Structure 1
């Protein structure tokens, strides 16, 4: 395990046992860092399936337009990605703005609470030829659009929709159910990784 030092974080780069399948980049949300619950547990799932895990850290500017935010996120993610080798993007919320870059490069991707209210991002997810997983909750009135999610699923995306879960994938008024929802999301990720990662490395 190695990585650059970040205050309060032991490492931002993690290596699996044996030869890596590829490199997965955990891309944060606006106020949801790579060590927040969904991405934290996603990192462990990725390691278990043989992926090298890299954390992306940022301090995003205020949202001015979708074009400005897309360009800013793209620049932050693009500078982190290698030019070759197998790459997966695992992003939360604001990180969904990396969808156009993922589509252009044909990168496998996991989108936690993707911003399905932003048509260009939906178009990018639909255009990506690689395997993708969408995870969201029906109580997420910020970003989740059940009809859009089902349309993307019909076009090949894997889908995990959590009844009653909000944008943090928590259940308002029921913390235990929120934790159970996180377990369901990671279970869906585990199944997704089983499908895309080779059995014998």
Structure 2
């Protein structure tokens, strides 16, 4: 088992609401990167309070087993959720952050997973068990996305043709901006639906 000490540094943005959303990064995709930056902006527009996790994965993380990676992510996310005293009602995670989808399923928390790692059985099983509103967004050119699994769950799914793991189109900056616009629009509708 990896060192259980926390590596996450929370950053809080007050949206003047009593609902807290937790933004969970990927391995090298921090909350400052476009998908998560604009997700935070949307949440604030919808009057959510936003808690961001900023973590540094351990140096030997590439040698962790899948179970150890799941346990490490779950520890970071559980601590952040528990710190909110029951107010955390939404998780938005990128890539590695989707390893926390079991927590969302167990605690019945709504979630939006951007490029979830659908090639990991734990993620696929947890998504099958999730009962709260869930949005999955991935690209058809992402090797960690599995269209078959995405289609098999009863959740809202947006698959972006030819998009990679960053939800970008290789060699097409303008097209990548349009993909970002599409993703943010879909995320906006999803967040809005939780407010009704």
TM-score, structure 2 normalization: 0.89
Size of the alignment, in residue pairs? 183
- What are structure 1's unaligned runs of at least 5 residues? 1-5
Aligned to 1:27: 24
| Partner deviation per Cα, 1:59-84 (whole Å, 9 max, x = no partner) | 11213211100100010111111231
| Partner deviation per Cα, 1:158-195 (whole Å, 9 max, x = no partner) | 11111110000010010111111011001000111121
Aligned to 2:133: 131
Aligned to 1:175: 173
Aligned to 1:12: 11
Check conservation: 1:21, 1:86, Cα contact below 8 A: no
- Could you list the runs of 4 or more consecutive aligned residues of structure 1 that deviate by over 6 angstroms after TM superposition? none
- Greater CA drift, 84-93 or 177-186: 84-93
Once the two structures are TM-superposed, the CA of residue 125 in structure 1 deviates from its matched residue by: 1.2
Once the two structures are TM-superposed, the CA of residue 35 in structure 1 deviates from its matched residue by: 1.1
- What are structure 2's unaligned runs of at least 5 residues? 1-8
**What's the secondary structure of 1:56's corresponding residue?**
strand
RMSD (Å), alpha carbons: 1.4
Q: Aligned equivalents of 1:92 and 1:162: distance in 2?
A: 15
Q: Aligned equivalents of 2:85 and 2:134: distance in 1?
A: 20
Once the two structures are TM-superposed, the CA of residue 86 in structure 1 deviates from its matched residue by: 4.3
Pair 1:146 & 2:144 matched: no
Aligned to 2:5: none
Q: Aligned equivalents of 1:151 and 1:103: distance in 2?
A: 16
